[in-house]
Chain A
Amino acid sequence: MSILIGWGDRVRGLFANSKGPWGSGDGGGDEPPGDDGNAGPWGEPRRGRKGAINPAGNVSSLDDWLRRSRMRFGGDGGLPGRPSRSLIMWAIIAIACLWLIGTTFHSVSPGQRGVVSRFGRYSYTLGPGVSLTLPSPIDRVTKIDVENIRSVELGAGDSDDLMLTGDQNLLDIAYSVRWNIRTPELYLFQLAEPDDTISEVANSAMRAVISQVSLNDAMGDRRADIETQVTENMQRILDGYRSGIQIQGIAIKQADPPAEVNDAFKEVTAAQQDAQTYINNANAYSLQLRQKAQGEATAFDKVYEQYRLAPEVTRRRMYYETMEQVLSKVDKTIIEAPGVTPYLPLPQVQKSQSQERAQ
């Protein structure tokens, strides 16, 4: 009995300390109840937390309770707060009901599944819609989003993260993995760190595939092929773990040579352009030459057709026309007698030429 009294004293001390904050918190502007308390209504909010620990006492009417116990320990033997009892009961029942409803009805949205575990053991999976389960300590429901496709970005912009290709070159690659959950219960219970697992497996699968293709293939047109292979490899590995994860796809966003050798790769591109320029020029020349040849040949053919009809006359006509044009444009000197060396006024000729040019 002395232990009991000692314990009572301790509790008293405890309540005396915490009287102030509790009183102000619960009572609002009200004074602490002076007469024997039906402080029931204020008890309700506290009940949710304290009910299990202190089922007999009405926490909010602490002062009241304190006085009562003090009276009791003082040997006065007062009357316990009888009217508050039924209120407490009702409060307990109400909270229990609320709790029951809250943990029994589960609304699972269309993209989700609810994994029900009964006392920790997997029981079944809820589909979308409203479902009923046993209340909380017995059945627990974990909602998992299965439709939502998640995306992990890997290898982006990390210069340290270079991959070795099959021809022992280095490749700077950035890609993303899209995945969703296929079997929620496996996802929940099989893997310790699903997110880490996915990135590690992706990295491993990507490196395995890249190490079997050449650098040009990886940078060029075999990307789609690589993506498919990595997706398949990842799926196989993850299925091996029974992870319940579905890989939707891999997207290679960037596959470049490392920055250190990028210039050399640009040089290749430049060379390709140069080569194309050469070929284009040659083609232009070729086209021009062919057209010219055809044009000249056709012109000759036309003239020749006419020439054949009257060869001598045509020939003379062409000769005279040409000579006329030629000689009308040039300075002419006609020397009659043989053996006379004419003085050609070359300086004058050249001067007049330079004057013409200047004009």
Chain B
Amino acid sequence: MTDSIRRHPLLSGFIVLILLFIVLSSFPIVPETKQAVVVRFGKPVRILNRYEAGRPIGAPGAGISWRVPFAEQVVWIDKRVLDVDMQRQQVLSTDQRRLEVDAFARYRIVDPLLMYIRARSEAQLKEQLRPILGSEVRNELGKVSFAALLTPERQGIMQDVRTSLNRIAGQYGVEIIDVRIKRTDLPDGTPLQSAYDRMRTARQQEARSIRAQGGKQAAIIQAQADADAAQTYAASFGKDADFYDFYRAMQSYRSTFVGDTNKPVAGTTVVLSPQNDYLREFTGRSR
């Protein structure tokens, strides 16, 4: 035996290689992220590492497996949570308002065999799920009003979408984990412009109201100050109205005819009669 190996090293190396290849391909390694359908001459016979809800990672399933070389083939199918994006589309709410909606769904292939039979490959599965998701979202959102789309209710709506989507996806061996609206936008053009206009006018209204309120407060503050000043004056001057009259007249004369350094007054000509009280003493103490 060893002698023949020694004599034909090339041939024996080749044989070893082929044997190694056969052995290795008979024991496929199933990673945690994959499940697999073993197909014997086109007929699915076994499922490796099938997803089961609640089973912890590291539980039996993944790991080394086996297959009959040449006769059986392993079709790998993702075991992880996958996602499908809906194409953005317009939804018409019950109150006839348009809204652009983006949604995505997260799903997991729970029955690889069914998925393999119905959709053949993951890419095809995604292509088939996408329009279904789109139409389900449109149907469900079309049942509610525009305002409801923006309220907590929309979680409930998405639950409905998920349920109905799940019913269809189940035919492909797929479980829908979650459907979510990614974005809800007003469509470009008139709806968006009118929204902008509304925002703008609302702001202008707010600005005016703020200015008016400021004016109101200022007026109140001034009036209060006037009132307080009047009170202060009255409390003080009210003690002797007659003297106040005299005192204030003196002040008034001074500021009218003399002014002060900051505010000089124009020259005045006064025509006095000798009977004037100020000139009483002019005539001597005859009276």
Q: Which A residues are closer than 8 A to B by beta carbons? A: 4, 7-8, 11, 52-57, 69, 72, 80, 117-124, 161-166, 168-170, 185-186, 188-193, 196-197, 200-201, 203-204, 207-208, 211-212, 215, 237, 240-243, 257-258, 260-261, 263-265, 267-268, 270-272, 274-279, 281-283, 285-287, 289-290, 292-294, 296-298, 300-301, 303-304, 307-308, 311, 315, 318-320, 322-323, 325-327, 329-336, 342, 344, 349, 352-353, 356
Contact = CB atoms under 8 A, between A and B. Distances in A.
B71 interface: no
A330 B269 contact: yes
A323 B278 contact: yes
- Interface of A, secondary structure class, is helix
Interface in B166-202: 177-178, 180-186, 195-196, 198-202
A161 B183 CA distance: 9
B247 A330 contact: no
B186 A322 contact: no
Which 9 A-B pairs rank lowest in CB-CB distance, beginning with the nearest?
A275-B214, A56-B9, A286-B225, A297-B236, A121-B63, A293-B229, A282-B218, A271-B207, A264-B203
A188 B201 CA distance: 51
Contact of A279 (B152, B214, B233): B214
Nearest to A352: B267
Given A241-B81, A268-B206, A282-B221, 10 more contacts: A57-B9, A168-B150, A170-B195, A196-B83, A200-B83, A268-B210, A279-B217, A282-B218, A330-B270, A353-B267
Contacts of A166: 150-151
B22 interface: no
A192 B236 contact: no
A8 B11 CA distance: 9
11 contacts: A57-B10, A204-B182, A211-B151, A261-B196, A279-B221, A300-B244, A322-B253, A323-B278, A326-B254, A329-B268, A349-B269
Given A211-B151, A297-B235, A333 B207 contact: no
A125 to B, nearest CB: 10
A265 B206 CA distance: 9
Interface residues of B, number: 105
Interface in B248-270: 250, 253-254, 257-258, 266-270
Nearest to B11: A4
- Interface of B, secondary structure class, is helix
B225 A118 contact: no
Contacts of B284: none
B222 to A, nearest CB: 5
Contact of A286 (B12, B201, B207, B224): B224
A41 B210 CA distance: 91
A241 B207 contact: no
Nearest to A342: B271
A264 B202 CA distance: 9
B16 A69 contact: no
Contacts of B279: 334
A356 to B, nearest CB: 7
